Amino acid sequence: MKLFGVLGDPISHSLSPVMHNSAFKALGMECEYHAFRVNPEYLKKALQGAHALGFGGLNLTIPLKEKALGIVKPTEMAKQIGAVNTVDFREGMIGHNTDGIGAKMALSGAGIKITGKNVLLLGAGGAARAIAFQLAKDGASVTIANRTPERAEALAKDVIKVGKVQASGYEDLKAIIRESDILINSTSVGMYPKISETMVTSDMMHKDLTVFDIVYNPQNTLLLKEAKRAGATTIDGVMMLVFQGAESFKIWTGRTPPVDVMEKAVREKLV
């Protein structure tokens, strides 16, 4: 029996156990995935302990992702993003970040190409960082818009090293969206319990737009409802969760998990 898990605090509401266990079961793998509450102070001990106990791999979530950079050996991508969400124990402790690739896979899974596309990314926090680096690397032209414009500017300054990026405030959103192919919300706006909030309404969107919301609670956010009203293509936050998890799964096991099974398990748990 191989053990896997997610470390964080709080952690009791994590959907990762149900998601990964559904994939292990579907593939008939003798593996189990559990959630562990870990205080940041004990992160190093927890990682070393899991390594010593022969864990197959771990995910890290709030508030441990940034701290892990000083403990594990980060990949170039994790270093650039400034956070680790996946630890692989096969050769020491390697720290990956699968959030950006998860977003990319969620888009490509829906048939959306990234190269050469204009992407408006709302937000400049941790999730935005991962997505901005990945999409710029993949040849998109990314506009980062944030409530606090200085954070968007700081992020754009980092991302410019790998691709096309610019920063913006929230004043010109309508004009930017007119020129955009993809709109991604990486802020917490619209997340339960504040479900009646959105920065973008249907009158600001067009039918050739793809709208991707990383918020998964609720699954059908107000932003996505507005996007549907405008005739745009929509991708919800469950797909982001599932694809970042699927990338972790591949890193640990070398196997491609059934994303449809993982998606179903997560959606059932969310209802």
Q: Which residues bind ligand ATR (CB under 6 A)?
A: 123-128, 146-148, 151, 186-189
Shortest CB 123 distance to ligand ATR, Å = 4
Shortest CB 176 distance to ligand ATR, Å = 16
Catalytic residue status for 65:
yes
- Cβ proximity to ligand ATR, 82 vs 258, nearer residue: 82
In sequence order, which residues have a C-beta less than 8 Å from that of residue 11 and are 6 or more positions away?
35, 36, 37, 38, 61
Residue 3: strand pairing partners: 32
Q: Are 211 and 224 in contact (CB under 8 A)?
A: yes
- Cβ proximity to ligand ATR, 50 vs 211, nearer residue: 211
- Torsion angle (degrees, nearest 10) of CA 133, 115, 95, 27: 150
Name the nearest CA neighbour of 244 among 82, 90, 85: 85
| Catalytic hit among 45, 65, 164, 194 | 65
Shortest CB 126 distance to ligand ATR, Å = 3
- Cβ proximity to ligand ATR, 31 vs 128, nearer residue: 128
- Cβ proximity to ligand ATR, 31 vs 122, nearer residue: 122
Shortest CB 159 distance to ligand ATR, Å = 14
> Rounded to an integer, what distance in angstroms lies between the CA atom of residue 265 and that of residue 24?
12
In sequence order, which residues have a C-beta less than 8 Å from that of residue 40 and are 6 or more positions away?
9, 63, 64, 67
HSE toward the beta carbon, residue 137, CA cutoff 13 A: 15
Q: Looking at the annotation, which residues are catalytic? A: 65
